[in-house]
Amino acid sequence: MDSFPTFEQFLTTSATQIPMVTFLIDLLLAAVLAAILGKVYIRYGSALSNRKLFARNFLILTMTVMLIITIVKSSLALSLGLVGALSIVRYRAAIKEPEELGYLFIAISIGLGLGANQRLITLAAFLVIVAIICIRDSMKQQKESPNLHLIVSTRENEKLGLEEIVETLSAYCTTVSLKRFDQSERGLEASFLVEYVDFAHLEESREALKKLDSTLSISLLDNKGLL
């Protein structure tokens, strides 16, 4: 008979006082870790989207998650209310690459850990994750070559052939790898993975290709920046 009133009283009185100093320290630490995570993503990320713009979300996301967990953990009633609120509100974001989702999970994990007062474990896990990202990137740079995408296209394929394009690129590139070649009545398009010694060779190859055909269209893409 008294179980329901007792449980209702527990819901209304189970809230605990949050120490303000501890909360501010954890909030500041969350901001610092989120800023470091943003720098790591900009430096070591491989997404083709604007990484600087995307990294700005880490700070707000991390601090907001920490605030929610800090408030919710102090009261069972608030935690139940949060479950009901999340069942109504739908959060949707255009995540184009799995890497972006991975970094978002790291930001959320930082907020969860600091919100649960697991400061040491969160900091240790963050340092290990960042170290692994840095080591993986250094190993990838040693193994992967080349990484510069070059696309050549023209509308008048009678004037220019694939063999001439490859010969011209070979004179200025240390590596030329044909990845795709399309030819139709409207023209041809060839996609290469190339590697240059320096920026001067890139400019010289572009000028040499333009001499073959003035209508030639050249596109260069490197997800870590051109040279």
70 found inside a domain: yes
Residues 28 and 104 in one domain: yes
Closest of 204, 73, 221, 95 to residue 149, by C-alpha: 221
2 found inside a domain: no
Of 100, 115, 143, which closes a domain?
Answer: 143
pLDDT of 73 strictly over 90:
no
The string of DSSP codes covering 76-106 is: HHHHHHHHHHHHH--------SHHHHHHHHH
176 found inside a domain: yes
pLDDT winner (highest mean) among 84-88, 141-145, 161-165: 161-165
Q: 98-124, pLDDT tens digit by residue? A: 888 889 899 999 988 998 888 999 999
Mean pLDDT along residues 126-130: 95
Which pLDDT belongs to residue 81?
55
DSSP count for the chain of H helices, then E strands: 8, 4
5 found inside a domain: no
Which pLDDT belongs to residue 159?
64
Distance between CA atoms of residues 227 and 219, nearest Å: 14
Mean pLDDT along residues 79-92: 56
Which pLDDT belongs to residue 7?
53
Of 86, 117, 143, which closes a domain?
Answer: 143
216 found inside a domain: yes
Mean pLDDT along residues 65-90: 66
Residues 24 and 126 in one domain: yes
Q: What is the mean pLDDT of the chain?
A: 78
**Which percentage of the chain shows pLDDT scores above 70?**
74
Distance between CA atoms of residues 49 and 155, nearest Å: 29
pLDDT interval class at 197 (50, 70, 90): confident
- 184: containing domain: 148-221
197 found inside a domain: yes
Select the more confidently predicted residue: 29 or 161: 29
Residues 47 and 153 in one domain: no
Mean pLDDT along residues 67-90: 64
Of 127, 143, 159, which closes a domain?
Answer: 143
Residues 24 and 134 in one domain: yes
Residues 29 and 101 in one domain: yes
Strand order, beta sheet including 187-195: 175-184, 187-195, 148-154, 217-221
pLDDT of 1 strictly over 50:
no
CATH at 161:
3.30.70.2690
213 found inside a domain: yes
Output DSSP code: residue 213. -
Closest of 102, 210, 194 to residue 148, by C-alpha: 194
* Structure tokens belonging to residue 165: 């394009």
Mean pLDDT along residues 186-190: 80
**Which percentage of the chain shows pLDDT scores above 90?**
19
Domains of the chain: total: 2
Residues 135 and 39 in one domain: yes
Beta-bridged to residue 202, according to DSSP, are none
Mean pLDDT along residues 199-219: 82
pTM: 0.57
7 found inside a domain: no
Distance between CA atoms of residues 30 and 53, nearest Å: 19
Residues 88 and 188 in one domain: no
Letter string b/e over residues 188-203, b meaning 16 or more CB atoms within 10 A of that residue's CB: bbbbbbbebeeeebbe
Closest of 208, 178, 171, 209 to residue 192, by C-alpha: 178
Residues 161 and 105 in one domain: no
pLDDT interval class at 164 (50, 70, 90): confident
Residues 86 and 172 in one domain: no
Residues 152 and 69 in one domain: no
Residues 63 and 158 in one domain: no
Residues 109 and 40 in one domain: yes
